[in-house]
Amino acid sequence: MSNIGSYEDRTKNFDWKIAEKELEFKEGHTINIGWYCSDRICLKGKADRIALFYEGFGGIKKQFTFNDIRLASNTIGKFLQTIGIKSEDRVCLFMDRIPELYLSFLGVLKIGAIVQPLFSAFGDEALYVRLENAQTRAIITQKKHLPKVRKVLDRLPYLEFVIVVDHSKSRVLEPKVISFDLQESKPVEEFETYPTKAESPSVLHYTSGTTGQPKGVKHVHYSLISQYLTAKWVLDLQDNDIYWCTADPGWVTGTSYGIIGPWSLGITQCILDAGFSAQNWYKFIEDYKITMWYSAPTAIRSLMKAGEKIISNFNLSSLRHLASVGEPLNPEAVIWSQKVFGKPFHDTFWQTETGSIMITNFPGMKVKAGSMGKPFPGIKGVVLNPKTFDPITEPEQVGLIAFQPGWPAMMRAYWNNEEKYREKFVKGWYLTGDRATIDNEGYFWFVGRDDDVINTGGHLVSPFEVESALLEHPAVGESAVVAKPDEINMEVVKAFITLKPGFIPGPDLELEIMNFIRRKLSPIAMPQAIEYMEKLPKTRSGKIMRRVLHAREWGEDIGDISTLEND
């Protein structure tokens, strides 16, 4: 049974002070996410409870109690202070899903510094852009990622410390590069957590937009209030749960609900860093008796593709509640999960900028397959007329998804980009950049992006960033990047390019260009298809008409092309 009451009951008389009271936080007092996720749980009598079961490549297994993560985060925090890292310095985490990633997240926050998690598959250029924008002072990484960091080190004067966690001895390896081995370090028992306040900056996540470079989304320690309560009510995390969030902490789901939400509740969570396969995932659920599973539609569709037969080889009866995030969850996936697991995946909608779940299929609420659900209690969500930005009151009308600002986890800024931040707010509403309809029962139904950002497997890719990188390849004259339909990922990156004189189109060049982007940006940003063109569609003023190419890929009406330059 759910422990959170009905949606209707929770919506009546809702107040975020419910979470403040449960977390024993009073306005004006210190609130530090690192302390709340470790020390406070120990003080509540759960010091010996397992906080983390970890399984990596090669069958490596580790486990950590809440006291272990308290000591480890203290030790990491103390080390960072020793080398001179101060409050509000940016510290980047550039690691695979190893325990040090999760422990360092808390350690950085405990000293009042700002944690900047980045996806470890990013290439050197994607890494450089984000470190340069944040003027990051330290990066914590692994030996395997050091070559990428070295490539950009000379161009980053603010980056003083490169800390490598998997060298056997703690020592200076080369200029700016230091080895830090947590296992060899003396555990720090007593540590004074930096007295951050509600509006002190905490996490800096980077997200992609239609134009320009990725934007740094700044969150604050008060976001804990939203993340704690949504984890408790939407993910329905209960005291004896074994929880698995499959998201990488390089993305916001992996921090809000892969670290902060569960650990602020004192919940045991599991991490699998051994690649994706249906066999691996089902065995992991069986081995650890996972009860709550938060995953992504791309993964669910991949499991569907693997078939139902394999499921009979595993005991998955421990599963109690399932939820999904990152991209639209197609109705077939909900129906499939009800059939094979005996329960549906509950879709949730939110963004890097919102910091916590905004629209959800609340536990106990009727699930409509394909619907995002209803706004979380305390969240006022609407769809706006795209021309007037006024709320649409008629059901089934397509509009822009928007929220009334003021929830605790809402971003406080785009890093050093006040103009873009202000553009997200119109007439007192926060604009998500997504479109939806609302039915006559108040359920939201996703329609699509309101911009050209590509959502591939739940990861947002900026066409501008890929186009810019493509132009650095010696063969590419011009480029345009759009989304292409895909059975598993819903959409993937497709590039249209014109070649410079002397280059011959062909599969070898196509592969070379794909790998160029993979190394420079990331596997996610790499085009899955390249089409060579004599010329790209442009307006008379010379602007590439990306929407014409997008419409062609999706079989949609091209619309008004009166501004298209003459052939």
The more confident residue out of 472 and 244 is 244
Residue 210, pLDDT > 80, answer no
Q: What is the pLDDT of residue 560?
A: 57
Whose tokens are 């639209």? That residue is: 328
- Residue among 308, 381, 315 at smallest CA distance from 338: 308
Of 420, 502, 425, 426, the closest CA to residue 464 belongs to 420
Domains of the chain: 7-435 (3.40.50.12780), 454-554 (3.30.300.30)
Q: Are 532 and 498 in contact (CB under 8 A)?
A: yes
* pLDDT-above-90 percentage for the chain: 80
Kindly indicate the confidence band of residue 561, based on its pLDDT and cuts at 50, 70 and 90.
low
Q: 448-459: string of b/e by CB count within 10 Å (b at 16+)?
A: ebbebbbbbbbb
- pLDDT at position 281: 97
Tens digit of each residue's pLDDT (9 = 90 or more) over 114-159: 999 999 999 999 999 999 999 999 999 999 999 999 999 999 999 9
pLDDT for residue 566: 53
What is residue 3's predicted lDDT score, i.e. its pLDDT? 60
The 345-349 sheet, strands edge to edge: 61-65, 50-56, 268-273, 242-245, 292-295, 321-324, 345-349, 359-360, 374-375
For a pLDDT cut of 70, what percent of the chain falls above it?
95
At residue 2 the predicted structure's pLDDT band, cuts being 50, 70 and 90, is: low
- How high does pLDDT run on average in the chain? 93
Copy the structure tokens of residue 535: 């010329």
| pLDDT confidence of residue 44 | 98
Strands 490-499 and 476-486 turn out to be antiparallel
CA 59 to chain CA centroid, nearest Å = 26
| Residues 288-338 pLDDT 10s | 999 999 999 989 989 999 999 999 999 999 999 999 998 888 898 999 999
495-548: pLDDT as tens digits: 999 999 899 999 999 999 999 999 999 999 999 999 999 988 876 656 678 888
Arithmetic mean of pLDDT, 63-85: 98
562's tokens? 């009166």
Label residue 567 by pLDDT band (50, 70, 90).
very low
Given this model, what pLDDT does residue 542 score? 65
Is the CA virtual torsion 101, 102, 104, 105 positive or negative?
positive
Q: Answer whether 261's CB lies under 8 Å from 235's CB.
A: yes
Question: Measured between alpha carbons, how far is 449 from 486 in angstroms, rounded to an integer?
Answer: 16
Burial of 152 (0-12, 13-18, 19+ CB in 10 A): middle
Asked if pLDDT for residue 211 goes beyond 70, the answer is no
37-49 mean pLDDT: 98
Q: pLDDT by residue (tens digit) across 335-393?
A: 999 999 999 999 999 999 999 999 999 999 999 999 999 999 999 999 999 999 999 99
